[in-house]
Amino acid sequence: MEIRRVTAEERLTTSYPLQAYAFDRSPLPAAQIEGWRDRLPYWAETRTLVAEADGSTVACVSAIPMRQNLRGTVLPMAGVASVATHPLARRQGHIRALLHQLLDEMRDEGHPLSALYPFRPSFYARFGFVGLPKARTVSFSPADLGPLLRADLPGELAWERIGAGYPAYRAFTEECLRRRHGFAVFDAQRAVAVRDDDNRWLVTARLDGRTVGAVTYRIDGHGGHLVADELLAEDPYGRALLLGFFARHIDQVTRITVQIPPDELPELWLTDFDVQVEARVNSPEAAAPMARLLSLDALTGRPAGTGRVRVELTGDRWLAGTHLLDGGSGQLEVTSAVAAGSSTPTATLTAAGLSALAYGVLDPVEVHLRELGSVPADAAAELRRIFPRQVPYLFADF
């Protein structure tokens, strides 16, 4: 078996057929296969590796060069996608070999983070990934938004197709990327697919000339549903302006659904608000995302509490060795553990364990309980100070 990187054009005959078999209804009509060529430009920056045996492609993996906010700092992130093996070649180690090479290359080229949506979390847990929370789907009747029709809100709304409003939308997602832990965006080439597909409305909320909220949506028919994508709001004004816009559909649709960050509490948005909040996670089609650190560079200089702990990293290809994590200056320093005194609390962590702490999704005790490391009480206290819990919101779906 040989691994090689394919060009954009080669995807049509190598990785796309495998992906189509793995993820689409199949066999595909010929017309749909011809449509693949139109999608190639969106993948121009994406790296695709294939495994070949006897002249045929037996497996493929891709990495989208993305950017993600980790505790306030925007870092390059490798978004893993298009992971598939030919049905006759499964369970022969092809994806293991491909993922190793792909993540080696992405890390060496400066991506200290990686994220993905798993078909089955335990598969990617073997590669050091840990679960992140899933965005919530909120569903309610527009009639319940009535009070917002009468509310005197500052700011104004703009309404257009996403094809026309894309530059403002992209700029606002970049703003969210700077502000929101966990938020991730595609590279520019990949991101414009939403503009070119042009199958969404875009409503934007502005306050004092600045965008404070944006949401894309579609309507499936008169008396039907308004199906919104992610409700992006910088503050409660932005959110109220967007919900006020939805309220104007009171006589047009019966139900509204919208995606929100995992730490939003819609039951507190209004009084007498009948609302359903849901995060359905199941394999393989309704995944919660996963992520991991590929390099300790991701941690250096991040804002941190005043803890000091030695961590021994174990069982991973990309994260290894014993390091001293010191948040004494308010910014995390990662140095050789030689400098640590023998009384320094020590934790043994897997890559998933350290990633869970860095992304703020697990308490050190949970890391221990989930068998992602061995964390004595004194080390847990230091790690808790260094990595306070924080809810990441990935946003990008890939």
Ligand X SMILES: CC(C)(COP(=O)(O)OP(=O)(O)OC[C@H]1O[C@@H](n2cnc3c(N)ncnc32)[C@H](O)[C@@H]1OP(=O)(O)O)[C@@H](O)C(=O)NCCC(=O)NCCS
The CB-of-352 to ligand X minimum distance in angstroms stands at: 15
DSSP-derived secondary structure for 190-254: HHTHHHHH--SEEEEEEETTEEEEEEEEEE-STTSEEEEEE-EESSHHHHHHHHHHHHTTTTT-S
Stretch that binds ligand X, among 88-96, 157-165, 230-238, 359-367 (CB under 6 A): 88-96
24 belongs to the binding site for ligand X (CB under 6 A): no
Among 67, 71, 94, 310, binds ligand X (CB under 6 A): 94
Among 1, 8, 22, 391, binds ligand X (CB under 6 A): 22
The CB-of-379 to ligand X minimum distance in angstroms stands at: 29
The CB-of-122 to ligand X minimum distance in angstroms stands at: 6
95 belongs to the binding site for ligand X (CB under 6 A): yes
Phi, psi of 143 (to 5 degrees): -60, -30
The CB-of-89 to ligand X minimum distance in angstroms stands at: 7
123 belongs to the binding site for ligand X (CB under 6 A): yes
Q: For residue 5, give the 3-state DSSP assignment.
A: strand
Among 92, 141, 254, 300, binds ligand X (CB under 6 A): 92
Q: Give the sign of the dihedral formed by CA 44, CA 49, CA 54, CA 57.
A: negative
The CB-of-127 to ligand X minimum distance in angstroms stands at: 9
118 belongs to the binding site for ligand X (CB under 6 A): yes
91 belongs to the binding site for ligand X (CB under 6 A): yes
120 belongs to the binding site for ligand X (CB under 6 A): yes
Using CB under 6 A, count the residues that bind ligand X. Answer: 19
CB contact at 8 A, 327 and 335: no
The CB-of-8 to ligand X minimum distance in angstroms stands at: 21
Q: Can you tell me the distance from the alpha carbon of 380 to that of 17, in angstroms, rounded to the nearest whole number?
A: 48
Contacts of 10 (CB under 8 A, 6+ apart): none
Q: Give the sign of the dihedral formed by CA 218, CA 283, CA 101, CA 10.
A: negative
Q: Can you tell me the distance from the alpha carbon of 352 to that of 293, in angstroms, rounded to the nearest whole number?
A: 8
284 belongs to the binding site for ligand X (CB under 6 A): yes
Among 27, 29, 93, 154, binds ligand X (CB under 6 A): 93
122 belongs to the binding site for ligand X (CB under 6 A): yes
Q: SS3 string of 47-90?
A: EEEEEEECCEEEEEEEEEEEEEEECCEEEEEEEEEEEEECHHHC
Q: How many CB atoms lie within 10 A of CB 212?
A: 24
96 belongs to the binding site for ligand X (CB under 6 A): yes
CB contact at 8 A, 115 and 340: no
Residue 115 or 340 with smaller CB distance to ligand X:
115
The CB-of-347 to ligand X minimum distance in angstroms stands at: 25
CA-wise closest residue to 335 among 344, 322, 346 = 322
Stretch that binds ligand X, among 66-74, 122-130, 207-215, 357-365 (CB under 6 A): 122-130
What is the per-residue binding string for ligand X in 56-85, x denoting contact by CB under 6 A? ---x-----------------------xxx
Residue 94 or 323 with smaller CB distance to ligand X:
94
Residue 1 or 381 with smaller CB distance to ligand X:
1
Residue position matching structure tokens 């549903």:
225
List the interface residues with ligand X, window 169-198 (CB under 6 A).
none
Q: Can you tell me the distance from the alpha carbon of 223 to that of 142, in angstroms, rounded to the nearest whole number?
A: 11
CB contact at 8 A, 392 and 133: yes
Q: Can you tell me the distance from the alpha carbon of 322 to that of 337, in angstroms, rounded to the nearest whole number?
A: 6
Binding stretches for ligand X (CB under 6 A): 22, 59, 83-85, 90-96, 118-120, 122-123, 126, 284
